Amino acid sequence: MALFFEGLLAGFLMCVPVGPVALLLIHRTLKGGRIDGLISGFGAATADALYSLIAVLGLGAVSSLLIKEQLWLRLGGSIFLMIVGTKVFLSDPSEKTGSANRPAHISNLVSAFVLTLTNPLAFIAFTGVFAGLGLVNRNVDYASGGLLVAGVFVGAALWWFTLSNLVNIFRERLAHRVLLLLNRSMGLIIFGFGLLALLISINRLC
């Protein structure tokens, strides 16, 4: 069980730094409520768990492909970020998402999953953490690997659960004007993340 708790700690701490996924979750919680935020967090946690699975099982071919093609992954992710940022900027927080709106929930889950998956640095980070634990390039049995990956998922999900609940506490207390300003700000920041990543990717391609 030590592996589970090590994975939980790794998954939790890796999600704490504020980035595009966190801003997206905050936006969706402010607009649609805690459930929308939690579903987005579930998508992000699933992507983290997938990357940790590849890292801990030492899937050489997949690992090499991810590292080799990380520039193209970043390029695709940057364009996706710019699209998401534009949508966030143009959205109106007064247009609430219904709690039973399944198509919107599926879209939230998939978009957060893809956004996290198009960040190859997450995979490299997990590889580094697991290397520090002596788990990379070592024969790890499926039970131990499964416990570690489950820990990563639970840790990441725990952070997104905490964040969405904290945001939801303040959601009803904020005036529409403030929510609109937050929307615009988060949209610009997410778009900025994407634009910066795009410029770096283009520079490396050249």
Read off the pLDDT of residues 50-59 as tens digits, 9 standing for 90 and up.
888 877 766 5
Exposed/middle/buried for 172, CB within 10 Å: 0-12, 13-18, 19+?
exposed
Q: For the chain, what is the domain count?
A: 1
Read off the pLDDT of residues 91-121 as tens digits, 9 standing for 90 and up.
776 665 555 566 678 888 998 898 888 776 6
**Higher-confidence position of 122 and 193:** 193
180: containing domain: 2-205
- 66 has a pLDDT exceeding 60: no
Distance from C-alpha of 189 to C-alpha of 81, rounded to nearest angstrom: 10
CA end-to-end distance (rounded Å), the chain:
48
For residue 142, give every residue at least 6 positions away whose Cβ sits within 8 Å of its Cβ, in sequence order, or none. none
Query: What's the mean per-residue pLDDT of the chain?
Result: 77
- What pLDDT band is residue 39 in, cutting at 50, 70 and 90? very high
pLDDT of residue 46: 92
Read off the pLDDT of residues 132-170 as tens digits, 9 standing for 90 and up.
665 554 555 677 778 888 988 999 999 999 988 988 887
For residue 172, give every residue at least 6 positions away whose Cβ sits within 8 Å of its Cβ, in sequence order, or none. none
- 201 has a pLDDT exceeding 80: no
pTM: 0.75
Q: Residue 98, by phi and psi: left (phi above 0), alpha (psi -120 to 50) or beta?
A: beta
pLDDT of residue 63: 53
